Amino acid sequence: MEAITVLQLLALPAGALAVSALARRMDWNVPLLLVLAGLIASIIPFVPEYELSPEIVLFVFLPPLLYSAALDSSYLRLRDVKRPVMLLSIGLVLFSTAVVATVTYLLVPELTIPAAIAFGAIVAPPDAVAAVAVGRKLGLPRRVMTVLIGESLFNDATALTAYRVAIGVIAGGGVSFLAAGGQFLFAAGVGLAIGLAIAYVAGHILTRISDALVANSISLLVPWGAYLAAEVVHASGVISVVVVGIYLGHQMSRTSYGTRLLSAAVWQVMDFLLEGIVFALIGLQLLPLIAGLEGYDPATVAMYALVLFAVTVLSRVVWMVPSAYLPRILSKKVRAREPKVPWQNVATLSWAGMRGVVSLAAAFALPADVPQRDLLLFLTFAVVIGTLVVQGLSFPWLIRKLGISNERERFEDDLSEAAAQQAAAAAATARLDELVAEGVLDIHEEVVQGLRDRSDRVARMAWERLGGGTGPEGEETPASVYRRLRREMLAAERAVFIRLRDQRRIDDEVLRRIMAELDFEEATLERD
C-alpha cells in the first residue's frame, strides 16, 4: 500500500473525529457539521477525492450501526408501536418510492420507469441518526423516539428490496407485481428466520460467558455475521441484523456486569467513529458528482433538485397525517389499544425525514448503463444534503416551538425507579438475612449492619430524587465477606428489576440506568 493511500485512510477518520469533537464542544449538530465540513473539504485543491464505495457502506458501515441502534432499543416498547412503525418502515417507504418515482419519470427526459422506481427507492428511507440525537437532547416523548428508532431500523430493508427489484428489471428481467411481492416476502421472511437463529445462538453464548473481553469480541462479530448470512442467500441482511440486535439488547441484562459495562463503551465508540466517517463521506462527494454533470443545463438540474427535494419531504407529510388518525377513526381496537396521538407528535415525526448515507450508497451502486445515472447520483446527493440542512437545522426549532417534552415521563420513571429500588432493597436484605441465618460463615456484625445500611441508603436515594426524603491464612476477612455478601445482594436486586421490567412495571430505560449503577458498584468490589 502506498504511503499516500495510508495517509488518506488516516486523514478521513482523523478529520471526522476533529470536527465531531468541535461540534460536541460547541453543542452543535454533529452530523450536519460533518456534512458541511466534507462539502468545504471537497472543494479544497489538495484534499484527495474519496469515492463512496457502496460495498463498503452496505457491508462495513451499515451492519454495526444498525446493530448498535437495535441493541439500544427496547423490544417491549417496539412491540407497543409495531403498527405505526410498520406503517412508516413499509407503507411510507413504498408510498414515497411511488410518488418520487412518478414525479421523477414525468420530470426527467429519457428516464425509464424502472430507473425512476430505483431512484424513488434510493431516496425513500430516512436516516434517523440526526433526528434521534436531537430528540434525545431536547427530550422528545418516549413513544415518538421509539417510533423514530423503529422506523430507522426497518425502513432500509423495504427500500433496498424495492431497489433490487427495480435494478433486476433494468438488467433485463421482467418482474411482475406478484413476483416483486414474492421477492419482498422471501427477503423479509428468510432474513427474520436467520436473524432469530443467530440471535438465539449468540444469546445462549453471551449469557454464559463471564469474560467481558471474550463476550464483547464475539459481539463485535455478530452484526457482520448476521448480515452476510442473510445476504448470501439473497435475503435481507438489514432485517437479520436488526432482529439479532433487538433480541440481544433485551437479553443484555442477563449477561455479566463486566460484559454490560464494556459493551456500552465499545458500541458508543464504534457509533461515534463510524457515524463521523459516514457523514463526512457524504459531504466529500460534491466535486465527483458535479464532474459527472457535464452537458447538463445548471438551471434545469437545479430545478430538478428543488422539485424532487420538495416531493420527498412532502410525501412524508402527506402520509403521516392519515396514517396517524385514520386507523383510530376506522378501528375500535386501535382506539382501545393505543393512546390518542397528539398533533404535535405527528408534526414532529413528519419533519424527521433526514436522508443519509444508505441513499447515497444505493445511488452509487446503480449500474453504469442506467439511463441518466450521473444525473440521478447528483439528485440523490441534493435530496440528502437538502434534508440534512433544511430539516436538520429546523428540527430543534420545531420541537421547541411545539413545546413537547418528556418531563412527565421522566418523573414517572423516577417514581417507578424509587418503588423498584425499595422492592429490590427488601429482596437484598432478605437474602442477607438468609445467609446470616444459615450460620455457615463467621460474619462480623459490623459487616452485616453496613450492608443493611447501604441497601437502605440506596432505596432512600431513589425517593430523594423526587424531592422527598423518606485474618489468619485461610480465613475470610471482613472485607472479603462484605464483597461476597454484597454480590449476592446485587444478584437479588437485579432479579427483581428484571422481573419488574418483564412485567412492564418499569421501562427498559429505567432498567438500563439501574443496571449501570449496580454494575459500577459490582466493579468496585472486584480486586486485582
Nearest residue to 345 via CA among 327, 330, 323: 323
Return the domain boundaries, the chain: 3-405, 409-525
State the cell numbers at 457.
Answer: 441508603
pLDDT of 84 higher than 80: yes
pLDDT of 243 higher than 90: yes
Residue 238 contacts residue 191 (beta carbons within 8 Å): yes
pLDDT at position 430, please?
87
Q: In which band, very low, low, confident or very high, does the pLDDT at 68 lie, cut at 50, 70 and 90?
A: very high
- For 348-407, what is each residue's pLDDT tens digit? 999 998 998 899 999 998 988 888 999 999 999 999 999 999 998 899 999 999 988 877
Within 13 A of 119's CA, how many CA atoms are on the CB side?
Answer: 35
pLDDT at position 470, please?
44
- For 256-289, what is each residue's pLDDT tens digit? 888 998 998 899 999 999 999 999 998 898 887 8
In the predicted model, what is the mean pLDDT of residues 100-122? 93
pLDDT at position 221, please?
96
Nearest residue to 129 via CA among 77, 38, 66, 74: 66
The pLDDT > 90 percentage for the chain reads: 44
pLDDT of 133 higher than 70: yes
pLDDT of 528 higher than 70: no
- For 164-205, what is each residue's pLDDT tens digit? 888 887 776 555 666 777 888 898 899 999 999 999 999 999
Residue 223 contacts residue 62 (beta carbons within 8 Å): no
Average pLDDT, the chain: 86
pLDDT of 29 higher than 90: no
pLDDT of 338 higher than 60: yes
- For 424-448, what is each residue's pLDDT tens digit? 888 988 888 888 887 755 667 777 7
- Three-state secondary structure string covering 168-215: HHHCCCCCCHHHHHHHHHHHHHHHHHHHHHHHHHHHHHHCCCCCHHHH
Q: Which residue has the higher pLDDT, 298 or 128?
A: 298
In the predicted model, what is the mean pLDDT of residues 10-28? 90
3-405: which CATH topology?
A: Na+/H+ antiporter like fold (1.20.1530)
Q: Convert 74-106 to b/e letters by CB count within 10 Å (16 or more is b).
A: beebbebbeebbebbbbebbbbbbbbbbebbbe
Q: In which band, very low, low, confident or very high, does the pLDDT at 480 lie, cut at 50, 70 and 90?
A: low
